[in-house]
Amino acid sequence: MSVLTRTVVEDPWVAVHNLSVTYPGQANPVLRNIDFSLCEGEAVLLIGPSGSGKSTLAMVMAGLIPQSVEARVSGEILRSKTLAVPGSIGYVFQDPEAQFCQLSVGQEIAFGLENLGVDPVTMDPRIQEALTTAGLAVDPEAPNYALSGGMKQKLALASALAMDPALIICDEPTANLDPESTSLVFAQIAELVKAKRTLLVIEHKFEALLAIMPRVALLDRHGHLYRVGPTQEVMREEWDWLLAEGLIPAGMQPDFNRDYLVDRQTSKVPLGSEILRADRVRYTYAKKRLQKRLKRQNEPIAMAIDEVSLSVQGGEFVAIVGPNGSGKSTLLSLLAGIKNPTEGTVKRPRASSEMPIPIAFGFQNPEHQFVYERVIDELANRYVGDQVPSNVDALLGEFSLTGHGEMSPFALSQGQKRRLSVAAMVRDPHLAYLLDEPTFGQDAGTQKKIVERLQGLQAEGRAIVLTTHDMDLVFRYATRVIVLVEGKILFDGTPLALYQDPELMRQANLLVQTGTRSKASMPLTLKSRFIQVDRHQAESPLGRLNPGLKLVTTILAMMISIFATHIWQGVALGVVPMLLLWLGARLTPWQIVKRMAPFILFFAFYTWTLTAYSRVGPNTPTVWFLWYRLSWVGLHNGLVLAFRMLASVAFGVVYVSTTDVTQLVVSLTRNFKVPPKFSYGSLAGIRVFPLFEEEWNKLRQARHLRGKETRRAFFTRVVTYALPLMTQSIRIGERVAVAMESRGFRDGVANDPKARTYYLDTPVSIRDGLYMGLVMLCGLAILMYVR
Amino acid sequence: MQWKLRDIVVAAVLATACGAIYLGWDLLYKFLPPSINPVAAAGFNGLWWIAGGIVPYIIRRPGAALLAESIGGFVEFALGSPYGIQAFTIGMAQGLFIELGFMMGGYRRYTLPWMLWATALGGIGNYIYSYFYYGVDKLTLPVQIGYLVVTMISGAILAGLLSKLVGDAVKRTGALRNFEIARQVGKAS
């Protein structure tokens, strides 16, 4: 196979002829013999079933395949001169968590501009302009990881727009978003189409886009381009094909009239006895201490769930809907007993010997539930060796997993993972099945299989409770729907009653809309708990020093402190960084005490150890205290070591309190000539950190629910925790790297510090030398003169 | 052998996670009974350079151990390690010695013996650093030798063997298809 990439002069901007693409390790090509082109001013919607190669085609068009993502490519790729320039193609990826590499909104947008070599002086106005065009009204200094999903996608769009790309590619930008955020992104796409920008949009919830995008391209499940043409015409003529490929729910009318969905016979399952009951349940994420303080001050406590009462009976199929952050998942966890209500009570069936786990719970991300290394063990919930139990075999068949039994659950496709997690849930009988967004990101086939299996359980008299954003699912299968907004129940009734109240649905943001420009606000609940420097400290004399040189000084200071042998030397060396914190970093004495307190406890402990356990000579005076023999020599040694450590820790606190990690990265590259790909690549990896905490908590909850069979040997446990965390972080890391490369961070720009410009300045001045000199002088003077 | 951007980002993600583990280990270590023999306490040391085992095992590029240990140590420091900036500098010392081990294998050999060997060398880095900074020089010679040997064994097990177990398990999930660990299959692993 060979690929020919040519640069042509004019229209079309980008074209592929006879293009085939095969990923390494896969036998079949994902795209076969594609002929496709994109001309200036065209806006094309690309649709097809999952696995049909939509993203692959987009990445070939963008030049990311085969440069950034390895694949065997054959055929011909023609690109016009306009698109051969770096930064001429803006790419918005699917995963809002995995396409940023900086810590603040402004720096994120600037990153692409830096790669283009834009003059830093002109960056601020361009950042503002991009934010305005993308409809994102936030401070450029806001931390980007605290944005909501929809705002993150807008930021991705702003980052692309700032580079003034000729072609913008949006690759399922709303796949991970709720209807409200989806509406935000679609409204922005509509603006771009209106402005005659050249666009390629991949979208799997495409209904609302049909009115916006003038052209549509269809890919079939084998990777062939099935048809390209004007949207209205294609939709009219290919409706049956779309139904057959599962791109539109079965039974849907060409005008997307949903009456047929709610028209169905209402469930004939007789309602059984009450299984779950919540009485005036309230829940807050605020810590106990904060709750007490707020109560004292008579301030309201933010409630995630507020006065919710409901009862679920056997034979019910309950869907909980509502915008993101409305408390759907929280309510579900409260019902399942994963969380305990702050106020009110939840009544659940008691476990019995016939039914040890009366309530089954399914996490949104199926990976959180996997504890075994093979699919068959996962299904049996124990290590089964070569003897596959017959019920496991039956489950494999029922959930189309036959032939995958020996595989690692993590190696399955998204759809297979979800089917496996549901199969594991239905293995043993339970009274109620609670599932958090079970159809999220699944293709039509998997959705149908899962929901119909749940319906079967419902028919047997079990209760099903799930959260979802998919209103088609609600109308089609649910017997009861609960609309949750801001932790309160806004509606509790039949899907038909909800369907007949479009005003309510609009109010609760249950539908994807276009045309309205909803306002986006910053979620206030997320605190920045990451390495972040207070503005006051950043503007202090120490905050303005060069971060790289300051790090060198800090290390030198630590090296000097090691030569302290007398207690007063230790004390004096400890006093220096305290003074620096006070005078140089402008922390108040109280702040200094608060920052140092945890360390002081440690060193008190150290001192005690040496006092009580130091080996002492026979003539050394000692004091007996309880059963410890305390010695002055030991106390002295302990104090010296403690103060020495304290000094080196305090210098560290000086550094961390006054240094922004992004500036350190910039300084490493600008002043210390570290290739940008190492410094910026590391920063991109470090910024993934806050995700770990969330993942870890979910894993613990999932393990807790699995019961005691899964508490096994230490090493196995390490592996079962490490696997989901690592596969997840590796996936995110890879995506981030591709996203960075799509913004021009490749080749020379990534290797040569001089090939790009820098938004942040990290000048080296005489002050850096003075600081280093001062610290060294103080240190040496203390060692020489203090006795 | 060229570093790709995704090698660097993934190395940093994993090393950052290790940095958080180091911090947890710092706190656990402090709760050891104060009377514990230094040789016995050295058995704990190895986990402090697991980033230097797991990252080179997956990424397999020159400098991977040093980069991973620097980032891991820096994150441990920045998150508030009771060892302060020393968490960062000792990380570099350990990373440097692990690096030596993989360099001797020409950055091509990552079999179990090589993993144990390289991560055991990390223990030498730890020993040298502790000799100067954590009072190991004050111990008697036999205790020092015991400290060094136990530290190296601890490194080989907690940083070497554990890295290989975890790395192989992740490889079986297929998540590492685009990394050197999956490419070198059949060659030497």
| Closest Cβ–Cβ partner in A373, A661, A732 for B13 | A732
What percentage of chain A exceeds 70 in pLDDT? 89
Q: Are strands A31-38 and A14-22 parallel, antiparallel or unpaired?
A: antiparallel
Is A266-349+431-516 assigned to CATH 3.30.360.10? no
Whole-angstrom Cα distance, residue A545 to residue A352? 66
Q: Is A393 exposed, middle or buried (0-12, 13-18, 19+ CB in 10 A)?
A: middle
What percentage of chain B exceeds 70 in pLDDT? 95
Segment A167-195, tens digit of pLDDT: 999 998 887 777 877 888 898 899 999 99
Predicted local distance difference test score (pLDDT) of residue A444: 73
Q: Is A446 helix (H, G, I), strand (E, B) or coil?
A: helix
Predicted confidence (pLDDT) at residue A608 exceeds the cutoff of 80: no
* Binary contact (A733, B13; C-beta < 8 A): yes
Predicted confidence (pLDDT) at residue A9 exceeds the cutoff of 70: no
Cβ-based contacts under 8 A for chains A and B: 168
Predicted local distance difference test score (pLDDT) of residue A523: 39
Those of residues 77-106 in A touching chain B at CB distance below 8 A are 101
- Residues from chain A contacting residue B78 (CB–CB below 8 Å): 531, 656, 661
**Contact by Cβ (8 Å): A31, A54:** no
**Contact by Cβ (8 Å): A135, A150:** no
What is the full DSSP assignment across B108-145? T--SHHHHHHHHHHHHHHHHHHHHHHSSGGGS-HHHHH
Instruction: Write the CB contacts of A669 (distance below 8 Å, at least 6 apart in sequence).
Output: A675, A676, A679, A680, A753, A758
Whole-angstrom Cα distance, residue A377 to residue A357? 19
Predicted local distance difference test score (pLDDT) of residue A10: 57
* A294 vs A682, residue with greater confidence: A682
Instruction: Write the CB contacts of A322 (distance below 8 Å, at least 6 apart in sequence).
Output: A328, A483, A484, A485, A490, A508, A510
Q: Which tokens sit at A108?
A: 């994120």
Q: Is A221 helix (H, G, I), strand (E, B) or coil?
A: coil
DSSP A102: S
* A761 vs A324, residue with greater confidence: A761
Those of residues 423-452 in A touching chain B at CB distance below 8 A are none
- Residues from chain A contacting residue B16 (CB–CB below 8 Å): 685-686, 688-689, 692
**Helices then strands (H, E): number in chain A?**
29, 21
Indicate the domain borders of chain B: 5-183
Instruction: Write the CB contacts of A374 (distance below 8 Å, at least 6 apart in sequence).
Output: A405, A406, A407, A408, A409
**Helices then strands (H, E): number in chain B?**
9, 0
**Contact by Cβ (8 Å): A322, A485:** yes
Whole-angstrom Cα distance, residue A372 to residue B66? 33
**Contact by Cβ (8 Å): A458, A301:** no
Predicted local distance difference test score (pLDDT) of residue A595: 85
| Closest Cβ–Cβ partner in A555, A681, A692 for B9 | A681
Average pLDDT of chain B is 90
| Closest Cβ–Cβ partner in A411, A682, A740 for B173 | A411
* Binary contact (A727, B166; C-beta < 8 A): no
Segment A327-378, tens digit of pLDDT: 888 899 999 988 889 999 999 998 888 888 889 998 888 888 887 878 898 8
Whole-angstrom Cα distance, residue A181 to residue B163? 41
Identical topology for domains A3-259 and A266-349+431-516: yes
Average pLDDT of chain A is 84
- Residues from chain B contacting residue A722 (CB–CB below 8 Å): 166, 169-170
Indicate the domain borders of chain A: 3-259, 266-349+431-516, 361-429, 535-659+767-785
Beta bridge partners of A305: A283
Phi and psi based region of residue A286 (left: phi greater than 0; alpha: psi -120 to 50; beta: remaining) = beta
Average pLDDT over residues A743-771: 92
* Binary contact (A740, B34; C-beta < 8 A): no
Closest residue, chain B, to A70 (C-alpha):
B178
Closest residue, chain A, to B77 (C-alpha):
A652
Phi and psi based region of residue A233 (left: phi greater than 0; alpha: psi -120 to 50; beta: remaining) = alpha
CA distance A704 to chain B (A): 21
Q: Predicted confidence band at A617 (pLDDT cuts at 50, 70, 90)?
A: low
| Closest Cβ–Cβ partner in A608, A648, A685 for B11 | A685
**Nearest 5°: phi and psi at A78?**
-110, 130
- Residues from chain B contacting residue A554 (CB–CB below 8 Å): 85
* Binary contact (B84, A652; C-beta < 8 A): yes
Segment A550-603, tens digit of pLDDT: 999 999 998 888 888 888 888 898 899 999 999 998 889 998 888 888 787 777
Whole-angstrom Cα distance, residue A659 to residue A665? 11
| Edge-to-edge strand list for the sheet holding A89-92 | A89-92, A167-171, A198-202, A43-47, A215-219, A225-230
Choose, out of B2, B6, B13, B177, the residue to mutate when testing the contact with A (most A CBs < 10 Å): B13
Q: Predicted confidence band at A716 (pLDDT cuts at 50, 70, 90)?
A: low
Predicted local distance difference test score (pLDDT) of residue A113: 95
- Residues from chain A contacting residue B176 (CB–CB below 8 Å): 730
Whole-angstrom Cα distance, residue A670 to residue A662? 12
* Binary contact (A677, B3; C-beta < 8 A): yes
Q: Which tokens sit at A42?
A: 């065209």
Predicted confidence (pLDDT) at residue A20 exceeds the cutoff of 60: yes
Can you name the CATH fold of B5-183? Arp2/3 complex 21 kDa subunit ARPC3 (1.10.1760)
| Edge-to-edge strand list for the sheet holding A343-347 | A305-313, A274-283, A343-347
**Contact by Cβ (8 Å): A570, A648:** no
| Closest Cβ–Cβ partner in B75, B77, B174 for A652 | B77
Interface contact A674, partner B, CB < 8 A: no
Chain centroid offset of residue A1 CA: 37
**Contact by Cβ (8 Å): A684, A101:** yes
| Closest Cβ–Cβ partner in A531, A641, A737 for B5 | A737
Q: Is B82 exposed, middle or buried (0-12, 13-18, 19+ CB in 10 A)?
A: buried
Choose, out of B9, B22, B139, B161, the residue to mutate when testing the contact with A (most A CBs < 10 Å): B9
Chain centroid offset of residue A100 CA: 10
Closest residue, chain B, to A565 (C-alpha):
B135
N-to-C CA span, chain B:
17
Instruction: Write the CB contacts of A416 (distance below 8 Å, at least 6 apart in sequence).
Output: A400, A401, A404
Q: Predicted confidence band at A758 (pLDDT cuts at 50, 70, 90)?
A: very high
Angle at A442 between CA A441 and CA A444, to 5 degrees: 135
Q: Is A14 helix (H, G, I), strand (E, B) or coil?
A: strand
CA quadruple A619, A623, A629, A635: dihedral, nearest 10: -80
Choose, out of B3, B4, B5, B133, the residue to mutate when testing the contact with A (most A CBs < 10 Å): B5
Predicted local distance difference test score (pLDDT) of residue A156: 92
| Closest Cβ–Cβ partner in A609, A650, A684 for B9 | A684
Interface contact A721, partner B, CB < 8 A: no
Closest residue, chain A, to B163 (C-alpha):
A719
Q: Are strands A622-625 and A628-631 parallel, antiparallel or unpaired?
A: antiparallel
* Binary contact (B12, A746; C-beta < 8 A): no
Closest residue, chain B, to A658 (C-alpha):
B78
Segment A156-167, tens digit of pLDDT: 999 999 998 999
Phi and psi based region of residue A707 (left: phi greater than 0; alpha: psi -120 to 50; beta: remaining) = left
Predicted local distance difference test score (pLDDT) of residue A628: 57
Q: Predicted confidence band at A519 (pLDDT cuts at 50, 70, 90)?
A: very low
Those of residues 123-182 in A touching chain B at CB distance below 8 A are none
* Binary contact (B17, A685; C-beta < 8 A): no
Which pairs with CB-CB distance under 8 Å and at least 24 residues apart come from A340-344?
A: A341/A278, A341/A281, A341/A282, A341/A283, A341/A305, A342/A282, A342/A283, A342/A284, A342/A291, A342/A303, A343/A280, A343/A281, A343/A282, A344/A278, A344/A279, A344/A280, A344/A281, A344/A282, A344/A307, A344/A308, A344/A309
Q: Is A347 helix (H, G, I), strand (E, B) or coil?
A: strand
Segment A104-142, tens digit of pLDDT: 899 999 999 999 999 999 999 999 999 988 888 888 888
* Binary contact (B78, A684; C-beta < 8 A): no
* A66 vs A667, residue with greater confidence: A667
Q: Cis check for the bond before A356: say yes or no (omega within 30 of 0).
A: no
Predicted local distance difference test score (pLDDT) of residue A295: 82
Closest residue, chain B, to A533 (C-alpha):
B78
Predicted confidence (pLDDT) at residue A1 exceeds the cutoff of 50: no
CA distance B82 to chain A (A): 6
- Residues from chain A contacting residue B140 (CB–CB below 8 Å): none
Predicted local distance difference test score (pLDDT) of residue B188: 41
Q: Predicted confidence band at A635 (pLDDT cuts at 50, 70, 90)?
A: confident
| Closest Cβ–Cβ partner in A612, A686, A741 for B16 | A686
Q: Predicted confidence band at A702 (pLDDT cuts at 50, 70, 90)?
A: confident
* Binary contact (B5, A715; C-beta < 8 A): no
**Contact by Cβ (8 Å): A397, A457:** no
Q: Predicted confidence band at B149 (pLDDT cuts at 50, 70, 90)?
A: very high
Find the range with the poorest average confidence among A97-106, A529-538, B12-21, B86-95. A529-538
Predicted local distance difference test score (pLDDT) of residue A738: 93
Q: Are strands A198-202 and A43-47 parallel, antiparallel or unpaired?
A: parallel
Chain centroid offset of residue A166 CA: 29
* Binary contact (A738, B6; C-beta < 8 A): yes
Q: Which secondary-structure segment (H or E) carries A527?
A: none
* A448 vs A515, residue with greater confidence: A448
Beta bridge partners of A484: A489
- Residues from chain A contacting residue B41 (CB–CB below 8 Å): none
CA distance B54 to chain A (A): 11
- B74: nearest Cα among A665, A639, A176: A665
CA distance A727 to chain B (A): 6
Q: Which tokens sit at A721?
A: 């925790």
Side chain identity at residue A306, one-letter code:
D
Predicted confidence (pLDDT) at residue A723 exceeds the cutoff of 90: no
Predicted local distance difference test score (pLDDT) of residue A483: 93
CA distance A139 to chain B (A): 26
Whole-angstrom Cα distance, residue A444 to residue A605? 61
* Binary contact (A645, B85; C-beta < 8 A): no
Q: Which residue has the tokens 């090493």?
A: A715
Segment A277-301, tens digit of pLDDT: 999 999 987 777 778 888 888 878 7
Can you name the CATH fold of A3-259? Rossmann fold (3.40.50)
Predicted local distance difference test score (pLDDT) of residue A717: 66
CA distance A19 to chain B (A): 22
Q: Which secondary-structure segment (H or E) carries A46?
A: strand A43-47
